[in-house]
Amino acid sequence: MLHTSDVHLGAYDSGSMELRERLHDTFRGVIDVGRRERVDFMVIAGDFFDNARVREETLKYAGEQLARLERPTVIAPGNHDHVGPGSVYDRYDLEAAAPGLRILRTPEGESVTVDGLSVDVWGRAHTEQDPKFTPFNDMPARGESAWQIGAGHGHFLHPRALLHHSFHIRAEHLEASDRDYIALGHWEQLTRVAAGPRTVAAYSGAPEPLGHTQSVGGRVLVVDLMEDGSVRLTAHSVEESPAIDHDDLPFLEGIAPDVH
């Protein structure tokens, strides 16, 4: 699978044309990686769009690029591209523009089976109305498909975390999920995080960081679901940097459950 997040298409729609085109080129590079690596499907873990006021041509461009992948895609909306009143996803029918696209729209959480594959993707959609939103607390049991993927957008709590951040994700929530892989969004920095002995969880980072905090450059994750049940990650550059293998990715332990 191809895992990306925090693309923020439209962030510069009312500003710099050069920066706007760079964001477009970067997402084209994400799709190029997916095509080159012959992925079977893609998950976008929130903030695909920067806001609900992006230009119509940006929405159309997004649909064209999603269709160009020619693979099923699941979007788990984040706080910038939330569902509910004023949602960007109500302005333009992306699912019609990109056959095989599924947008998770349920704040309580929902699961979709990826077309043609024994893969379920579960996620909760942001509404931007609940600062105490927790993407992965009390996830339902595994589904019937062979591979179980979680997707969500929020802030992983680690020993150096600022606890006033919203949308908390705890290591014990990820471990209790019993998923094979959890695709995270909200951080611009590519990072694996603690999720117990069974589950692999990671932030893909932003393919084009807006805050310029990502030390390894813009990346997208290719997630290999192996025949032996293991999960391997490779971080691919959307430009020309070398790929980064699973064991070399930055890793964060979770905060202790009794620390608040």
Q: Is domain 2-252 annotated with CATH 3.60.21.10?
A: yes
Q: Is 224 helix (H, G, I), strand (E, B) or coil?
A: strand
- Give the pairing of strands 42-44 and 231-237: unpaired
150-194: pLDDT as tens digits: 999 999 988 676 666 789 999 999 999 999 999 999 999 999 999
117-126: pLDDT as tens digits: 999 999 999 9
pLDDT of residue 260: 36
Least confident span in 49-53, 128-132, 192-196: 128-132
pTM beyond 0.85: yes
pLDDT of residue 212: 54
Q: Would you kindly state where each structural domain of the chain is located, as residue ranges?
A: 2-252
**Identity of residue 163:** L
Closest CA to 88 of 117, 112, 42, 56: 56
Judge contact between 127 and 84, C-beta under 8 A.
yes
Closest CA to 178 of 148, 156, 202: 148
Residue 100 neighbours by CB distance under 10 Å:
18
Does the pLDDT value for residue 258 go beyond 50?
no
Q: Is the dihedral of CA 159, 164, 169, 173 positive or negative?
A: positive
Residue 260 neighbours by CB distance under 10 Å:
7
Does the pLDDT value for residue 218 go beyond 90?
no
Judge contact between 150 and 169, C-beta under 8 A.
no
H helix or E strand, kind and range, residue 153? strand 147-153
Does the pLDDT value for residue 56 go beyond 90?
yes
Q: Is 132 helix (H, G, I), strand (E, B) or coil?
A: coil
